[in-house]
């Protein structure tokens, strides 16, 4: 591979990617590098811990933008909320604060799931920061809907939840985030258009697509009652994109068709 020259480095944009080892963050890192810019992945694997702030200042030196993909659904208060506050504090001390592109979830404000409530609190911290920041919400990723579809299939029985999704291809979402990071930073903190994929489907549709792709035996649907506020929020379609959403990437059916079939367990 050719060595980068100093001139190349001067022209390139330096983008820190929190959660750069994760499903989304790794695609963001790859996209930044594909475009010839400098990606600095930042997560505990690289000695950056958002919950303590360890390694954060060093990672941010000279950064033009930060794409914030780090998250922990098991400890969202510590990682997503306090971690975001740590990140905002570190950006605020930069001589020229980097443009923060903050990742969130469509409909998080309409669902009492603790993880979604943490996403709302993190968004609020970003929007109140006064820093140049763009909050970008996306629908469920194909990978998550795939996991839910598999969990809903037990032998020959398919658990039919009242849950529809319009999931997004994580690679396409990563491209959108990098476009934000390379664009002109806003004067303050703003919300961008929501991001979603092109195909609306139920969990039963997704489970059927996975089953057919892997050539597994047919299943019989068993309707699952919608109990509790979290399932009701999904049944109310609060996780679906609104009419202004930016739609793109491959749909779930095309995406699953491109995945290697998994061995039957
Ligand atoms: N999955 C979905 O369907 C979906 C839908 C819409 C939006 N989103 C949002 O997209 C973002 C990325 O999700 P994902 O599914 O790609 O997550 P993921 O694969 O679970 O990756 C999470 C990343 O966060 C890092 N991390 C965790 N704790 C950390 C800490 N204390 N300090 C620094 N880094 C830490 C992890 O790396 P280390 O272990 O190395 O620290 C990892 O790289 C999240 O904000 C999520 O809410 C997800």
Instruction: Write the pLDDT tens digit of every residue in 13-35.
Output: 999 999 999 999 999 999 999 99
Cβ–Cβ < 8 Å for 98, 63:
yes
Q: Is the pLDDT of residue 7 over 90?
A: no
* Residues 78, 191: Cα–Cα separation, whole Å: 23
Instruction: Give the pLDDT score at 265.
Output: 53
Instruction: State which ligand 1 atom lies nearest to the alpha carbon of 145.
Output: 3
Ligand 1 near 23 CB (within 6 A)? yes
**Going by C-beta distance under 8 Å and a sequence separation of 6 or more, which residues neighbour residue 117?**
108
* Inter-helix orientation angle 23-34/170-182, to 10°: 50
- pLDDT for res 1: 32
Ligand 1 atom nearest to CA at 141: 3
CATH code for the structural domain at 10-257: 3.40.50.720
- Ligand 1 touching residue 173 (CB < 6 A): no
Decide if pLDDT at 4 tops 70.
no
| Over residues 208-233, mean pLDDT | 95
Give residue 71 CA to ligand 1 midpoint distance, Å.
4
Residue 231 pLDDT > 60, yes or no? yes
- Report domain extents, the chain: 10-257
What secondary structure does DSSP assign to 221-264, as a single string? EEEPP--HHHHHHHHTTTTS--TT-EE-S--HHHHHHTSPPPPP
């Amino acid at each position: 591979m050719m060595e980068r020259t100093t001139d190349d480095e001067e022209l390139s944009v330096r983008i820190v990617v929190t959660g750069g080892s994760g499903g989304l963050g790794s695609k963001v890192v790859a996209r930044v590098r594909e475009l010839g810019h400098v990606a600095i992945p930042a997560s505990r694997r690289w000695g950056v811990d958002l919950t303590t702030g360890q390694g954060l200042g060093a990672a941010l030196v000279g950064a033009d933008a930060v794409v914030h993909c780090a998250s922990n659904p098991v400890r969202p208060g510590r990682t997503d909320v306090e971690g975001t506050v740590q990140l905002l504090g570190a950006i605020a001390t930069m001589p020229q604060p980097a443009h923060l592109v903050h990742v969130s979830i469509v409909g998080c404000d309409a669902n009492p799931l603790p993880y979604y409530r943490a996403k709302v609190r993190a968004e609020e911290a970003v929007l109140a920061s006064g820093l140049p920041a763009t909050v970008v919400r996306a629908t469920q990723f194909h990978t998550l809907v795939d996991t839910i579809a598999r969990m809903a299939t037990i032998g020959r029985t398919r658990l039919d939840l009242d849950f529809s999704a319009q999931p997004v291809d994580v690679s396409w979402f990563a491209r959108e985030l990098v476009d934000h990071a390379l664009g002109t930073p806003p004067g303050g903190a703003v919300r961008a258009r929501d991001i979603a994929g092109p195909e609306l489907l139920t969990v039963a549709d997704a489970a059927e697509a996975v089953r057919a792709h892997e050539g597994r035996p047919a299943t019989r649907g068993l309707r699952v009652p919608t109990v509790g506020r979290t399932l009701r929020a999904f049944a109310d379609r609060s996780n679906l994109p609104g009419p202004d959403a930016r739609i793109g990437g491959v749909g779930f059916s095309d995406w699953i068709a491109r995945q290697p079939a998994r061995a039957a367990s």
